[in-house]
Amino acid sequence: MGFLQSQIVSYLSLLSLSHLLTLAGLLLVSLACHRLYLHPLANIPGPWFAAISPLFLYTICYLGVEGRVSLHYHQKYKTTVLRVAPDAVSISDGDSLHQVYLAGGGLPKDARYSNFRIEGHDTIFSAIDQEYRDRRAKAVLPLFAPARIQSAYEHDGVMAPLVDKFVARLVEEKSRPNAKVDILDLSSRLSIDILTAYLFHKVYGGLDEQSRHHDSTTGTTSKAKPRKYANKLSATPFVLAIVAFSRFSLLPNWLFTVIFSSLVGRVLADDEVQMSLRTVSNFLEGVVDRPDTNVDANGSGETYQARLQLAGVSRAETLVQCKGIVFAGADSTAVMLATILFHLVRQPDIHAQLRSEIATAGPTADPQSIPYLRAVIREGLRLGMANPTRLTRIVPPLGPSGLTIAQHTLPPGTKVGAAAYVFHHNPIVYPEPYEFRPERWLPDKSETPAAVQARRIRDRDSFAFGIGSRACLGRNLANHQLYIAVKEVVQSGVLEGAKTCKDSIEIIEWFNAEIKGHELEITW
């Protein structure tokens, strides 16, 4: 045995670096050939470089172009199932959405979602364990019932004053010399105020903030140096820091942890992010620690935090869950509201028609009963998109054949997902997909079989808030805010004579949609 070991050592010592590199190269070539020709996904169309390495997918995710690049390759290869990584596919076939997200509660989430944990805790969104998620989701779900939200607006005085304040801020800005306002920032202020007022029974105060970040720890306003977000909502640096980390979300958990650990200190070292995080944390700690007597007749809490704690969720986790809902709810709704207002300014004819129909319906009409307003909102949701990239799921062990989608067999372990960007920009379903055209959502009075089928496909292929049992919990609240805010803004006439400061909106396609530069200005 000693002789054999000595012979092996002698042989290895003779190997030069070039020999080792050659061996490594042969192994890589062998792996690439296996993935290209022998892998169970080898028959699925897609660019060859996506099939041999996940680096392609990681790169387009990091750059925020995953949706548009996937759409390009779906069209190039004329396929509804596209291979985007050695073990991952993108789908663009609406009939397959049921199999992935709805049948039997949908396929399970893959490990990627663990990268969205906050401060060591899973949130309702990031949880992979269905039982863990269901316990928390069921506790707060009654708060998002449409009837309860409607009552909060009409009778409880929760949302109406905030929408009025939002419109008043627009009117005030319009009256200033050289008027200019960032409708994305103003929408963020409204969204966080409505969400916190409704769910926590305490208003964050975004619409009342001064033009500089207020340091809630010292009670002073920092004037030491110009700040990038000096005139923006105080929660914005906190929100954008989380949004930016999602560019790494497709990485394996261990690699994400390494990158997160190396970057988090650098990100938090920025004094604006620190101040923002401190402000948000102080507000939410006050919410969670407040003696809460808001209990209904059934003994259930009337606030988000009370319902979680009554369900046995710890204080530390309740605080994290509140941070999660503030981030997910406020920012996404703001992006979609700003998108709608931007296009109404860009297209005065659409704005004029909408204003006319709102006036005809009367001030007391239910906004969702106004067909053209409904069409405008749906078109804004199509282009705004809370989550533009693939909502990934994993094929579980379903037997030796795996899962068959559009005549392609996906073996267990395959990561499969549909991207709202791909579906919402399909020119077959939505002609001129990059144009804001509300009329595409108006009912076709002919009711021919072709028209009925086209409407069914449009409805099926539109999922701005996700799809299935894991869709966004707050979608009813977001929808209600959009209908009310757009109606009140248009009714006020404040957008008359307005112009946009740029010609188009550029969406960054990270997991959460973000408008490039986080700014969308209009002027008069």
Question: For residue range 260-289, what is the model confidence (pLDDT) as tens digits?
Answer: 878 777 776 788 988 999 999 999 999 998
Mean pLDDT of 194-221: 73
Percent of the chain past pLDDT 90, that is, above it, reads 66
pLDDT of residue 222: 44
Question: For residue range 80-90, what is the model confidence (pLDDT) as tens digits?
Answer: 999 999 999 99
Question: Could you give phi then psi for residue 356, rounded to 5 degrees?
Answer: -65, -45
- Who wins on pLDDT, 309 or 119? 309
Residue 225 pLDDT greater than 60, yes or no: no
pLDDT of residue 119: 82
Is 505 in contact with 521 (CB distance < 8 Å)? no
Q: How far is CA 373 from CA 69, 328, 338, 379, in A?
A: 32, 25, 15, 10
- Measured CA to CA, the distance from residue 507 to residue 512 in angstroms comes to 10
**CB-neighbour burial class of residue 363 (10 A; exposed 0-12, middle 13-18, buried 19+):** exposed
Mean pLDDT of 396-413: 86
Domain residue extents for the chain: 44-210+228-523
* Residues 391, 396, 402, 403, Cα dihedral to 10°: -30
Residue 351 pLDDT greater than 80, yes or no: yes
Tokens 């969400």, located at residue: 195
Residue 64 pLDDT greater than 60, yes or no: yes
- Who wins on pLDDT, 17 or 321? 321
Q: Dig out the tokens for 150 from the structure.
A: 């409607």
Helix 315-346 × helix 183-200 angle, to 10°: 140
Residue 378 pLDDT greater than 60, yes or no: yes
Q: Dig out the tokens for 440 from the structure.
A: 């595409």
Helix 475-492 × helix 160-175 angle, to 10°: 40
In sequence order, the β-bridge partners of residue 65 are 509
Residue 73 pLDDT greater than 70, yes or no: yes
Mean pLDDT of 343-365: 95
pLDDT of residue 81: 98
Other C-beta atoms closer than 10 Å to the C-beta of 32 total 16
Question: Could you give phi then psi for residue 437, rounded to 5 degrees?
Answer: -130, 85
Mean pLDDT of 314-323: 94
Q: Which CATH number fits domain 44-210+228-523: 3.30.420.40, 1.10.630.10, 1.10.10.10, 3.20.20.80?
A: 1.10.630.10
Which pLDDT band holds residue 375 (cuts at 50, 70, 90)?
Answer: very high
Question: For residue range 26-41, what is the model confidence (pLDDT) as tens digits?
Answer: 777 888 898 999 999 9
- Measured CA to CA, the distance from residue 472 to residue 121 in angstroms comes to 19
Percent of the chain past pLDDT 70, that is, above it, reads 90
Mean pLDDT of 312-322: 94
Please name the amino acid found at residue 468: G
Other C-beta atoms closer than 10 Å to the C-beta of 68 total 16
pLDDT of residue 164: 96
pLDDT of residue 451: 82
Residue 453 pLDDT greater than 80, yes or no: yes
- Measured CA to CA, the distance from residue 125 to residue 472 in angstroms comes to 8
- Measured CA to CA, the distance from residue 438 to residue 441 in angstroms comes to 6
- Who wins on pLDDT, 84 or 467? 84
In sequence order, the β-bridge partners of residue 499 are 523
Residue 512 pLDDT greater than 60, yes or no: yes
Residue 219 pLDDT greater than 50, yes or no: no
Mean pLDDT of 412-429: 96
pLDDT of residue 292: 59
Is 501 labeled as ligand-binding?
no
Q: Among residues 506, 461, 499, 465, which one has the least CA distance to residue 482?
A: 465
- Measured CA to CA, the distance from residue 136 to residue 322 in angstroms comes to 12
Q: Among residues 56, 147, 41, which one has the least CA distance to residue 409?
A: 41
pLDDT of residue 464: 92
Specify the DSSP class assigned to residue 118: B
pLDDT of residue 177: 87
**Considering the entire predicted model, what is its pTM?**
0.90
Mean pLDDT of 54-62: 96
Question: Could you give phi then psi for residue 514, rounded to 5 degrees?
Answer: -135, 135
Residue 24 pLDDT greater than 70, yes or no: yes
Residue 229 pLDDT greater than 90, yes or no: no
Mean pLDDT of 224-247: 83
Residue 221 pLDDT greater than 50, yes or no: no
Mean pLDDT of 107-113: 94
**Measured distance between the N- and C-terminal CA atoms of the chain, rounded to whole angstroms:** 88
Question: Mean pLDDT over all residues of the chain?
Answer: 88
- Measured CA to CA, the distance from residue 451 to residue 441 in angstroms comes to 11
Which pLDDT band holds residue 220 (cuts at 50, 70, 90)?
Answer: very low
Question: For residue range 126-168, what is the model confidence (pLDDT) as tens digits?
Answer: 889 889 999 999 999 999 999 999 888 877 778 899 999 999 9
- Measured CA to CA, the distance from residue 361 to residue 490 in angstroms comes to 13
Q: Among residues 487, 490, 517, which one has the least CA distance to residue 504?
A: 517
Q: Which residues contact 54 (CB under 8 A, 6 or more apart)?
A: 85, 86, 87, 88, 250
Q: Among residues 485, 473, 498, 493, which one has the least CA distance to residue 377?
A: 485
- Who wins on pLDDT, 282 or 9? 282
Q: How far is CA 463 from CA 99, 305, 344, in A?
A: 15, 28, 22
